[in-house]
Amino acid sequence: MTFGDGSQQGLGRPSDLRLVEGLLAGDSRSVEEVRRWVRGSASGYRRFLANELDDLEQEILLSLMTSLSEGGFRHECSLKTFVRRMVHNSCIDLMRAAGRRQWINVDDLDLAGDETRVIEALSLEQESVLALRIAASLSKACRDLWRMIHQGLSYEEMAARTGASRGALRVRVLRCRRKAVEERDRLLEEKIKKRSNAPASPSTGSEMEP
């Protein structure tokens, strides 16, 4: 990973080395300096996470200490960038968790086989690119309709908002759903084709050949 902030990868800036040493030794001035960084970067989330921000600040500092003591900071960037990144990741995580609705538990549907795992599969981090590509292939109207569903609106509410009849609205959503499935199939097929057309790597080439 390249950070481009002037740090020498693997060596570490002298000021960062001193700061890390101070933090691990419990030096109050070092802790205060890093706390200022944390507060600065986290301040943008105050209006979304007002009540949780103080606790989060402590949690971030604790995680940072753990990470530093376990060698998680490898001087690939400056310590300040490392801390800022940690703050933003934690705050976005918390903001998303706070805004998350309690959806129906798909496991409660008592379905057999692997059908219930579809959502989990597409929600996995490595599959989120595929999921986003599918979403991007839909028209904006489709994405807007599904966004309303994710906002928890009933079909009656959606019909009222869009001015469509309930039946027409449900059919429109169904069409969007079909497009999403078609795109998923197309992307997966493309992926398989690419894999089968890709030249074999030197290490596995002999194994791949018939």
Partner 1 sequence: MECERVTTVLPWLFNGSLEAEERSQVESHLASCPACRKELRDTAVAWAATGAHPPPEVISDYGLGLEITGFPRDVLEAHLADCPSCEREAAIVLADGDEETLQGVPPEVPSSPSLSPSPSPSPSPGTSWRGWPALALAASLTAIALGGTLLWQAVKPEVPHANLAIIELFPLNAQTRGPDSEVLKLSREGPAAIVLMPGEHSVGERYRVTLRTSEGREVWFLDDIELSEVGDVALLLPTDALPEGVLGLELQVHFEGGWKNVAEYAVVVGQ
34-73 residues near partner 1, rule: CB under 8 A: 39-45, 47-48
Alpha-carbon dihedral 66, 3, 42, 52, rounded to 10 degrees: -50
- Please give the Cα distance from 180 to 142 (Å, whole number): 10
Closer to partner 1 by Cβ: residue 55 or 144: 144
Closer to partner 1 by Cβ: residue 92 or 208: 92
165 part of the interface to partner 1, by CB under 8 A: no
Name the segment binding partner 1 (CB under 8 A); options: 17-25, 131-139, 193-201, 202-210: 131-139
Name the segment binding partner 1 (CB under 8 A); options: 50-58, 63-71, 142-150, 194-202: 142-150
Closer to partner 1 by Cβ: residue 68 or 94: 94
Structure token digits, residue 25: 């030794």
Residue with structure tokens 């059919």?
171
H helical segments located in the chain: 14-24, 28-42, 46-49, 53-69, 79-99, 117-123, 128-137, 140-150, 155-162, 166-197, 205-208
Judged by CB under 8 A, the residue of 59, 69, 154, 205 near partner 1 is 154
- Please give the Cα distance from 140 to 178 (Å, whole number): 15
Name the segment binding partner 1 (CB under 8 A); options: 6-14, 20-28, 154-162, 191-199: 154-162
